[in-house]
Amino acid sequence: MALPVLNDTNTGSESANTLTHTVNLPTIVNPNELLVVWMAFDGAPTVTWDNVTHGTWTSYIDTASGTACKLVVYAKVASGMEGGGTLDVVTNDSEQSVHRSVAIGNWQGTLAGGVNCPSATTGAGDSPNPPVATDSWGSVDRKTIAIEGCDGSQTVSAYPTDYSLNQLSDNSAGAEGVGLGSAGRDQSSAGSQNPGTFTISASDDWVAATFSIRGADLSSVPNPPRFRDLDYFKLSGESTRTFTNVE
């Protein structure tokens, strides 16, 4: 197998209350990559996702912590045409928002077999605690992303233990806004994950999620590369891709 790779990321926010929220997608998106967006809202609005501009997305999380904040997580298999694009997300109440989008390669390739995202947890305090992500994959190469959204434009001061990759803290920067934090962990031949807690800058309402991505099965690739150089090859049924630091 191969560890999933975060190839590109983008972010954005609405610092004033609005009914329309622009989501910035990664600048570079290759066909068949996994596109994931996590987005936090001040308050608990009804969220209408944009399934028109760049095709249909699958909802994994749409959870509020009371009426203080909401976290949504959406994903899709990329067509390759999404790079540099935007989505127009609509809320029924005028709120601030902040989001993070990522494009991930070297993954299993299907939402049904390559993604696991259990129900979100909610609470109040300064330690958002993402849920345990139990799956039936067994011991596989995987990337796990811990995510938190919190009321009040809080920032992240500490991330879950061992989640040292792509530690990101975003917020809407507006008064009475909303904060968003995330961090990743890559593991070879690993089982289900329990990330542990974030620490945010002040006690507030929060929602937390755990998003697991299964690595690609390279068994169908003849003589898989085992060097740390650039190589170009095709996975079965896919277009030519570039892999960096392959072992």
8 Å CB contact between 211 and 144: yes
How far is residue 149's CA from residue 42's CA, in Å, rounded to a whole number?
9
The pLDDT assigned to 236 comes to 42
Q: Name, in order, each residue with C-beta under 8 angstroms of 122's C-beta and a sequence gap of 6 or more.
A: 63, 64, 65, 66, 205, 206, 207, 208
Provide the β-strand partners of residue 58.
75
What sign has the CA pseudo-torsion 102, 103, 108, 113?
positive
222: left (phi over 0), alpha (psi -120 to 50) or beta: beta
For the entire predicted model, the pTM comes to 0.87
8 Å CB contact between 140 and 190: yes
Alpha-helical regions (H) of 125-205: none
8 Å CB contact between 131 and 198: no
The pLDDT assigned to 160 comes to 98
The pLDDT assigned to 231 comes to 40
Q: Closest Cα partner for 205 from 68, 95, 73?
A: 68
Q: Name, in order, each residue with C-beta under 8 angstroms of 219's C-beta and a sequence gap of 6 or more.
A: none
8 Å CB contact between 55 and 197: no
Q: What is the pLDDT tens value at each position of the chain, 247 positions in all? A: 799 999 999 999 999 999 999 999 999 999 999 999 999 999 999 999 999 999 999 999 999 999 999 999 999 999 999 999 999 999 999 999 999 999 999 999 999 999 999 999 999 999 999 999 999 998 999 999 999 999 998 999 999 999 999 999 999 987 789 999 999 999 998 888 999 999 999 999 999 999 999 999 876 433 344 333 334 334 444 444 444 444 4
The pLDDT assigned to 217 comes to 86
The pLDDT assigned to 174 comes to 74
Q: Name, in order, each residue with C-beta under 8 angstroms of 240's C-beta and a sequence gap of 6 or more.
A: 232, 233, 234
How far is residue 33's CA from residue 78's CA, in Å, rounded to a whole number?
5
Torsion of the alpha carbons at 104, 38, 76 and 210, rounded to the nearest 10:
70
Place of tokens 């003589």: 223
